[in-house]
Amino acid sequence: MRVSHHRRSPATGLLLGLVITLAAVVVYSRYMTSEISDLQDLQTELVDRNRRDSLQLLRIQGDLNSLAHAMRDMLDGNEPYPLTAWESQFDRLRNDLEDALRVQEQVAVSHRVPEQQEYLRNSMSQFWDAVDRMFALAREGREAEALGEVRNQLQARQAALSTTVARLLVQNNESEEEAAVRIGEVYAQVDRQMSWFLTATLAAILSTGAYLIRSNRRVFAELSRLSGQRSDLARALIASQESTLRHVSRDLHDEFGQILTAIGSLLDRSRRSAPEGSPERRDLEEVREIAQSTLDNVRSMSQALHPAVLEEGGLESAVEWLVSTTGRRTGLDIRYEKTGAGYPVDAGRGIHVYRVLQEALNNAARHSGATEVWVRLRFGGDGLGLEIEDHGRGFRNESDGRGIGLIAMRERAELLGGTIGFIRPQDGGTLVRLRVPKETLFACDEHDET
């Protein structure tokens, strides 16, 4: 029965979470930009203009105070000067006041009503009209009337102007306090929005992270399950392969071997009964040699399919036999080196080491183009090591004709609980390095029975 497992990819959810997060960042960035722009406008419109307006009002107030001092000195009569002597001072203050009033009107804060500015300008104009009348009387020699004008008109108008300017300064101070409150509210609002945004962003990140972790756990669980199934399948396939090869090897050795041995014996008896030097004797001798050669080939094939020497003499003997026969068969100069004191290896485990060596030697003979191969077998206290090295062409990937063999070698290394590496030495070629822990070389489970 075919079972199909379809699981939705987490990419869609993660992409959606990323889009939402980026959209939130963009929207909040635009909001913050707008808030900062409004705050800058508020500071420019209220604070900066209010400050410049207050400076001009203070300038006007200073000039009005100077006029008050001048009029007080005029009324005291302590100076031996006619009233017309004060005209130049009044003209200087008049010019400065008109300039200050003009600048003040340009920078006046927006909350001030036009009637207030109009009242200030009209009061200033009326004051200077009274000043002109006072100096006209003084120039006509009517000092007493001129002083009366100062006392009755100018001082009152100057006091009214000072009061108006003071009131405007108070309004500016109140406006500045209101601006400070509004700016504080903006900062508080931005702070609240920042807190909400950070909270929402953190929640989105946590949600996305939780979803990612959950998806990864599900994916890794599925991969672990599939890997377990693959390992079980690999064990079953390799065990089935070894079992089949063992039965074929035994059939070749027992069935065909016995038949060929019997044929050889019959041919040998027939050869001896034939006359010496007769054509029949020579033909029987040639047929007997062919039967013997066929028997040797059958025995070699039987050993290649399933090395009986592995079960009879152990892994070390099987490796020596394979190195010797492969060298004779392929013409390779195989240099074998064994280090460490050998110890018994379970045949069900040793067959995997044997097959790795067999596949590596076949690859070297068929694909490397090398004439020399080095085989190093090491028995160590921590485990067993096997290296097969050649200095031939090497290989770039597993798709150059040896992919299935390399995959099978990896599967056998995993079944042994070891590791295998395919390395390119400095001199070129290929180095196959197998490492197997010692404790896994003795236990044999039902999957390894062959």
CB 167 within 8 Å of CB 116? no
User: CATH for 307-448, among 3.40.50.300, 3.90.1720.10, 3.30.565.10, 3.90.228.20?
Assistant: 3.30.565.10
Distance CA 128, CA 120 (A): 12
Range name among 57-61, 282-286, 336-340 with the lowest pLDDT average:
282-286
* Three-class secondary structure assignment of the chain: CCCCCCCCCCHHHHHHHHHHHHHHHHHHHHHHHHHHHHHHHHHHHHHHHHHHHHHHHHHHHHHHHHHHHHHHHHHHCCCCCCHHHHHHHHHHHHHHHHHHHHHHHHHCCCCCCHHHHHHHHHHHHHHHHHHHHHHHHHHCCCHHHHHHHHHHHHHHHHHHHHHHHHHHHHHHHHHHHHHHHHHHHHHHHHHHHHHHHHHHHHHHHHHHHHHHHHHHHHHHHHHHHHHHHHHHHHHHHHHHHHHHHHHHHHHHHHHHHHHHHHHHHHHHHHHHHCCCCCHHHHHHHHHHHHHHHHHHHHHHHHHHHCCHHHHHHCHHHHHHHHHHHHHHHHCCEEEEEEECCCCCCCHHHHHHHHHHHHHHHHHHHHHHCCCEEEEEEEECCCEEEEEEEECCCCCCCCCCCCHHHHHHHHHHHHHCCCEEEEECCCCCCEEEEEEEEHHHHCCCCHHHCC
The confidence band for 433, taking pLDDT boundaries of 50, 70 and 90, is very high
**Local confidence band at 378 (pLDDT 50, 70, 90 cut-offs):** very high
Between 236 and 53, whose confidence is greater?
53
pLDDT digits (tens, 9 = 90+) for 61-80: 998 999 889 888 888 867 67
- Is the per-residue pLDDT at 4 higher than 50? no
pTM of the complete model beyond 0.85: no
Instruction: Check residue 401 and give its pLDDT.
Output: 43
Q: Quick check: 424 pLDDT over 50? A: yes
Report pLDDT for 179: 73
The predicted-structure confidence for 354-367, as pLDDT tens digits, reads as follows: 889 988 998 888 88
Mean pLDDT (whole number) for 101-109: 80
Task: List pLDDT tens digits, range 325-353.
Answer: 888 888 899 999 999 888 888 888 888 89
The neighbour count for residue 318, using CB atoms within 10 Å, is 25
Domain boundaries, the chain: 11-212, 307-448
pLDDT score for 249: 62
Question: For the residues 35-46, what does the mean pLDDT come to?
Answer: 68
- Say if residue 302's pLDDT is above 60: yes
Indicate if the pLDDT at residue 420 is higher than 90: yes
For residue 448, name the pLDDT band (cuts at 50, 70, 90).
very low
| pLDDT at res. 402 | 52
Helices 347-363 & 315-330, crossing angle to 10 degrees? 20
Please report the pLDDT score of residue 44 as a whole number.
64
Average pLDDT, the chain: 80
pLDDT for 447:
41
Say how far apart CA 134 and CA 142 lie, in whole Å. 9
Give the up-direction half-sphere exposure of residue 189: CA atoms within 13 A in the CB hemisphere. 13
